[in-house]
Amino acid sequence: MKSLLGPIKLEQQRIALVPTMGALHKGHVSLVKMAQQQAEVVVCSIFVNPTQFTDPKDLEKYPRPFEHDMKMLEEAGCHVVFMPSVTEMYPTPEEWHIDLGPAEFLLEGEFRKGHYQGVTQIVKKLFDAVSPDVAFFGQKDFQQVLMIKNMVAWFKLPVQIVSCPIIREDDGLAMSSRNIHLTASDRENALVLSRALNYVKDNFSALSIPELIENAKALINATPGVALDYFSIANGKTLLPEEDKSHQDIVVLVAAKVGETRLIDNMILR
């Protein structure tokens, strides 16, 4: 990677990185397309990172359709694919712990302890390998983008982080590599997550925040096969529950297990 990208750096061409764990879908392609608009060279990494999985079974069953992924990236016009092995990224055991701020322990952090340490550990390694000017991440992992921005600030890295809008199926389901694990009935039940988010958006001016949360939770809890982890109307910077509807940065976040598959979704209100 270094020898390949070195001459490009010397020519002062902008390099964009789209870090992924593979099992690509149209959401990933949208990141590549946005990267093409902001850089001359687009690098996409595919690496299923073991340090961010809190459940070994989840790591084991994570989809790895590499041929499909390569074809998608080729068609999308990606210039370079970086697909390192685990031993290449983690040649020796290492300790990693940085201060990501209090938001690390909220929402996803509460359900997947240590997850964001693993995420920031691998993203730092990818940044070191590629030295991108700009990196693109999907908004679906809203908290992850926040943690990566905090990691970039911690190390004072010269890379711009861009969060790209969620790409949804026609019926509203947020695209995710995990969706392939949904049965037909799970797939139908999963639609309640985007319905609950839209309910909050549509009724935001009319109802109080506690009412919005209570009604959205009731909608989800009434759906068979869906076990809610959290539903939060939060400050987009701190992820703490937001009580002031006039605040300029508000996001609604939800996580639930649908059948055997855990899904997350969110919607930025302001």
Whether 15 and 130 have beta carbons less than 8 Å apart is answered as: yes
Q: Going by C-beta distance under 8 Å and a sequence separation of 6 or more, which residues neighbour residue 250?
A: 233, 234, 235, 236, 242, 268, 269, 270
In this predicted structure, what is the pLDDT of residue 114? 95
Whether 135 and 160 have beta carbons less than 8 Å apart is answered as: yes
The number of helix segments (H) and strand segments (E) in the chain equals: 10, 8
Q: Looking at the structure, do residues 188 and 233 belong to the same domain, yes or no?
A: yes
Catalytic residue, candidates 28, 79, 115, 181:
28
Q: Looking at the structure, do residues 159 and 184 belong to the same domain, yes or no?
A: no
Length of the chain equals: 270
φ and ψ of 10, to 5 deg: -65, -30
In this predicted structure, what is the pLDDT of residue 191? 98
Q: Which two tokens stand for residue 28?
A: 């990933």
Residue 82 counted as domain residue: yes
Domain of residue 182, CATH code = 3.30.1300.10
In this predicted structure, what is the pLDDT of residue 50? 96
Q: Which two tokens stand for residue 165?
A: 């809008």
Q: Going by C-beta distance under 8 Å and a sequence separation of 6 or more, which residues neighbour residue 67?
A: none
Q: Looking at the structure, do residues 104 and 195 belong to the same domain, yes or no?
A: no
Strand partners, 263: 256
Q: Position of tokens 């964009």? A: 16
Q: Which amino acid is at 194?
A: S
Q: Looking at the structure, do residues 210 and 248 belong to the same domain, yes or no?
A: yes
Q: Going by C-beta distance under 8 Å and a sequence separation of 6 or more, which residues neighbour residue 70?
A: 81
3-state helix, strand, coil in the chain (%, to 5): 45, 20, 35
Helix (H) or strand (E) holding 194: helix 184-203
How far apart CA 97 and CA 1 sit, in angstroms, is 26
Residue 255: count of CB within 10 angstroms of its CB: 21
79 is catalytic: no
By residue range, what is the domain housing residue 45?
2-164
Q: Going by C-beta distance under 8 Å and a sequence separation of 6 or more, which residues neighbour residue 146?
A: 103, 237, 239
Q: Looking at the structure, do residues 160 and 187 belong to the same domain, yes or no?
A: no
Helix (H) or strand (E) holding 20: strand 15-20
In 3D space, the residue among 205, 191, 140 whose CA is nearest the CA of residue 167 turns out to be 140
pLDDT in tens, the chain (270 residues): 999 999 999 999 999 999 999 999 999 999 999 999 999 999 999 999 999 998 898 999 899 999 999 999 999 999 999 999 999 999 999 999 999 999 999 999 999 999 999 999 999 999 999 999 999 999 999 999 999 999 999 999 999 999 999 999 999 999 999 999 999 999 999 999 999 999 999 999 999 999 999 999 999 999 999 999 999 999 999 999 999 999 999 999 999 999 999 999 999 999
Query: What total number of domains does the chain contain?
Result: 2
Q: Where are the beta strands (DSSP E) in 101-194?
A: 134-138, 160-164
- Going from the C-alpha of 129 to that of each of 13, 140, 158, 201, 245, the distances in angstroms are 17, 25, 14, 40, 42
Q: Looking at the structure, do residues 193 and 136 belong to the same domain, yes or no?
A: no
Strand, coil or helix: 152: helix
Domain of residue 23, CATH code = 3.40.50.620
